[in-house]
Amino acid sequence: MTHGMVSAAQPEAVEAGLETLQAGGNAVDAAVATALVQTAVDPQMCGIAGFGCMHVYSPKTGVHVCLDFYGRAPMAARPDMWADLMISESEDGFGFILKGNANCFYGSIATPMTLRALGTALKRFGTMQIGALLGLAVPHCENGFVVRPHVSAYWNMLPTESKPPHSALLTNVPATRKIYVKPDGKLHAVGDTLRNRDLGATYRRIATVGIEAFYEGEIARRIAGDMRANGALLAETDLAQCRVEETKPLWGSYRGHRIATNPPPGGGLMLLEMLNILEYFDLKAMGHNTPDYIATVAEAMKLGAVDRDMHLGDPKFVDVPVARLSSKEHAARLAERVKRGEKAHVPRIKAKEAADTTQVCVVDEHGTCVSLTHTLGSPSGVVTDGLGFMYNGAMEAFDPRPGHAASLAPGKARVSSMAPTIVFKGEQPFFVVGAPGGTYITPGILQAVLNVVEFDMTALEAISAPRFCATSDTIHLTNRILRSTERDLATRGYPVKRIPLNFYFAGVHGIRIDGGRLDGAADPGRDGMAAMV
């Protein structure tokens, strides 16, 4: 048995991670097992045709890397193909709304990377075979899983104005409808058992013949045939070219702690920039979630959002000024603006949107730490008949206007706010953290790090504390932020909006390592848990 802890947004997935540790697997094995079960029991938050980033630290083997597996635009994409279709941008900067929903359904599908990445992680850093770990997911497909509150809430959510409702993602494509709609024409409700035998069969096939069947074999041919028949950009050559990139973590510091996070096109750079700005303020003296604290942290969030929109892109295609944006000097200049009372303006082209992703954190007895964020982006709603899995909708996040950092180009990775992060005390890992939540991810992780470092909270306290967010000019507050604080912020001239939910703005998950002891937490706004063996 390997001792350790797993935190994730789905109890079934956490249990798979724990079983893997009990069977002698390491943290990477457990993270992959957890992720594979997530694809079965949370099929719009993630899937084998999704994308993401895995941050791995293994002191025993001397490994510290990020495995980047972001969705890339198919080679048939063209920089100006949607330039005349622009309607608006989401308020939080998560995506773009086009005429005729050209970047939805089959038009939204970028390269499917997750299965390739999980297999790569096992080969590079794990001890188990993917076939065995897929076996943990198959029963949840064939016997079914009980629909949880967060799953049902997502299915019934109304997204951005002018975008298809989430229910349409499950009902418009016949192969998708077959899985998610009951004989009475209704979607499965909380407590119903949803079975996806086609996904179980696909997993059994991959377990038998290997991952290459998905990218260059029988499954790849079925995928490509469906894409051709429905006018999608994704082609068989795109599948064959899917590769995971191994990158060095991006490093920063905050209050004497070393921060390791993911490089562009992920969101770690923005996290470091915001922490650097806030290091110039005595946040502890302000008090947690006081008006002064929220106003200060919100300004750092807004400044990070502005730089994200202006500069963050695929480094293979754009020159991202990483050194400048992550420097203490740049942060000092921005901090002075905050001290002068300036309110940053975050340009947006109207509208609003939510985001769809999931998270795994694992720590084992050897000190190996994994923070894995993976997603479908905005789910495409597309399932190929007989295969069972839903494809990512990553193309929705590309800027349809040529000439921007996140603009469309063939083979280009989409920008992501994912920021799987490890905070170190000296040379030892102290806090392993990550989150789903679109552009809310970095603000959510930021607050969890501040809670642990500034206010000495446990992982549970840090992740359960009321959050706020500013990815536009408006400061959004969860419902447990005091009304008196809201009034104070409004008096200072801030646009303020109260969210009716008590837990919101990313689904933060984390594990704290304190003197060799582990304490972890799953975001109460999701359905998950943290558990230890």
Contact in structure between 259 and 442 (CB atoms under 8 Å): no
357 is catalytic: yes
Catalytic residue (one of 160, 357, 421, 442)? 357
Round to whole Å and give the CA distance between 459 and 522.
9
The SS3 of residue 112 is coil
Sheet-wide strand order for 468-469: 468-469, 475-477, 496-498
Is cis: bond before 265, omega within 30 of 0?
A: yes
**Phi and psi dihedrals of 387, rounded to 5?**
-100, -30
Round to whole Å and give the CA distance between 429 and 64.
12
Strands 468-469 and 475-477: antiparallel
Considering Cα of 439, then 444, then 447, then 453, what sign does the dihedral take? negative
- The alpha carbon of residue 525 and the mean position of all alpha carbons in its chain are separated, in whole angstroms, by 15
**Phi and psi dihedrals of 214, rounded to 5?**
-75, -35
Neighbours of 515 (CB within 10 A): 5
**Phi and psi dihedrals of 202, rounded to 5?**
-65, -45
* Token pair listed for 361: 């954190």
Contact in structure between 301 and 470 (CB atoms under 8 Å): yes
Q: Name the DSSP class of 263.
A: P
Q: Considering only CA atoms, which of 317, 318, 411, 326 is closest in space to residue 110?
A: 411
The SS3 of residue 292 is helix
Catalytic residues: 357
